[in-house]
Structure 1
């Protein structure tokens, strides 16, 4: 395994969160294995990985809700104690929004928030505007939609004035309208309220455009850490590549044909190319001939499945004049090629 870019060093003054050597063993199995990373104030970190990779457990450990077997979490230079050391689990300044949040029933939203409020009147009103819930204050909680309930639960946590917000799959089970509203809310929480965030999501569209840095987890380990562009364009393995969208993997024996292109060096490794990295060219001799097997429409683009080198290759294009059976010619830029 190789790391694309080593984590950058940060000074203690800027470091808000320091996770060092976290291990967690449950029922004889390792849930978390040697997790270490740091986070600066207002740095946006996303955590990606398949179900069961340890993402939620890591967030709960950071929040002080799960006791690690070894290692430590330090927040604002203070050690975060686990539930075995605290009568009431949790740590001041850190809030965690789980996927199973609950709101009191048969109360108006303003009552629910009033009981949790530790901010001044002006600050609370600003928070309600950021969370897009001002118009919901007179409503009763049982009359809210799922997306509205989630924003209320988020606002209730933020009324404690935290420095770090941990979001566990906040976009799951939301329709596109409420998902886009919540994305705007999370953006403004970071920019307007200056609250640092860590977010878990399965959808690459939720993380690539938002995060400053992404941690990829597999089987309880962080296997890659880098900027969204590094993670997407230079994945450490096919597991990471698949988490962030479609890809083409050409065995080294097949990839040799593409290494004839200027700037692409031959390596004894598999070649990874994203579908949008292929270019459809018009002239014979400028690209490789491929036969279109399938055309799928995705609104802003078409995804072509083409036969090339005995493989089925995915090619993304905005052009709309391709049909099954067409012969096209494709090429790829050297900077779009990655070997794993």
Structure 2
């Protein structure tokens, strides 16, 4: 089922949560809405679900205008962060609840479908247990099975793994991606976890201040960030004050191409993996302030003469020590005009 938002806006009292958002999601795609708190991602999800209604714009499911359709008639499945399972019902009864409410299946058919979904989420044989008798990760699988039970046209996930510990989240991410490959339902999910969005999604939509600032595949948004906000928001990044002259950005003795930027102040951004420290040579003068040893990597914290601090990854066999003086060069960087 294709979803399309056309110039959608939503205001809560004096706060405009979503600003003229237009977004099209192709059928069968798994799309992540990613952004800081207050960026509008949950409001968009709730409007698609029918839990909120836009002040302006239209929402389409396929060719059908769904803007004003009530949630019970939209054909969406919704999974919340905190499971929202009925504690007095067994797992099978929780999964069966939506099917029973619709009243279109026989009791035998509902039991068979509930058992089938338990197998699908790898919980077969546990249907008679209650939510307090299984783990958090298992409860979230039951919540997903319950959402799938009503055969939704669209699946909506609101921070689905946010209440779980890191190891369980990683396992569920892999499992959900495999499940989506087997059942390619159009899926929209909200997350603040960048790794989760990049691992799971076919496409990532990045929001800031109620607007879409970039959308693309995980590779596109990470390797080719469109704005300084996206560059700074995704992953670790270092920022150096630069000066652009004649299409080149200069930071100390480091020179980097800056095509299309006019002369004047700018910022050069580089990821830790894209900076190189050396004891000699031209670049950004730097002093090693700390050496952070990790099981399979080493990170240097360095300081430039102007007080700028940066972090970079260094080879395990490179001789370095706190207090060493050298310089930084870059293997990859991006330059944006100063705000």
Please report the TM-score for the alignment, with normalisation by the length of structure 2. Answer: 0.83
With 240-249 and 35-44 compared, the bigger mean Cα shift is at 240-249
1:114-129 to 2 correspondence within 5 Å? 114-117=96-99, 127-129=117-119
**Structure 1 position 209, deviation (Å):** 2.6
1:290 pairs with 2:280: no
Structure 2 unaligned blocks of 5 or more: 100-104
Instruction: Check the 8 A contact 2:240/2:251 in 1, yes or no.
Output: no
1:41-80 to 2 correspondence within 5 Å? 41-80=27-66
Shift of the 250–173 alpha-carbon distance from structure 1 to 2, 3 Å rule, reads same
Instruction: Check the 8 A contact 2:242/2:251 in 1, yes or no.
Output: no
1:171-182 to 2 correspondence within 5 Å? 171-182=161-172
Shift of the 166–301 alpha-carbon distance from structure 1 to 2, 3 Å rule, reads farther
Q: Give the aligned length.
A: 319
**Structure 1 position 120, deviation (Å):** 7.7
User: What secondary structure, in the 3-state scheme, does the structure 1 residue paired with 2:309 have?
Assistant: strand
Could you say what the CA RMSD is over the residues aligned between the two structures, in angstroms? 2.8
User: What secondary structure, in the 3-state scheme, does the structure 2 residue paired with 1:208 have?
Assistant: helix
Please report the TM-score for the alignment, with normalisation by the length of structure 1. Answer: 0.82
User: 1:332: which partner in 2?
Assistant: 330
1:38 pairs with 2:35: no
Instruction: Check the 8 A contact 2:43/2:52 in 1, yes or no.
Output: yes
User: Which of these residues, 112, 128, 135, is aligned with residue 94 of structure 2?
Assistant: 112
User: 1:270: which partner in 2?
Assistant: 267
User: What secondary structure, in the 3-state scheme, does the structure 2 residue paired with 1:170 have?
Assistant: coil
Instruction: Check the 8 A contact 2:258/2:335 in 1, yes or no.
Output: no
**Distance in 1, Cα, partners of 2:26 & 2:62:** 10
Shift of the 315–257 alpha-carbon distance from structure 1 to 2, 3 Å rule, reads same
**Structure 1 position 337, deviation (Å):** 3.0
Instruction: Check the 8 A contact 2:39/2:207 in 1, yes or no.
Output: yes
User: 2:204: which partner in 1?
Assistant: 214
Deviations 1:126-172 (A, max 9, x none): 54344232253232122223222221111101111123211111121
**Structure 1 position 330, deviation (Å):** 3.3
**Structure 1 position 293, deviation (Å):** 0.6
**Structure with higher strand content:** 2
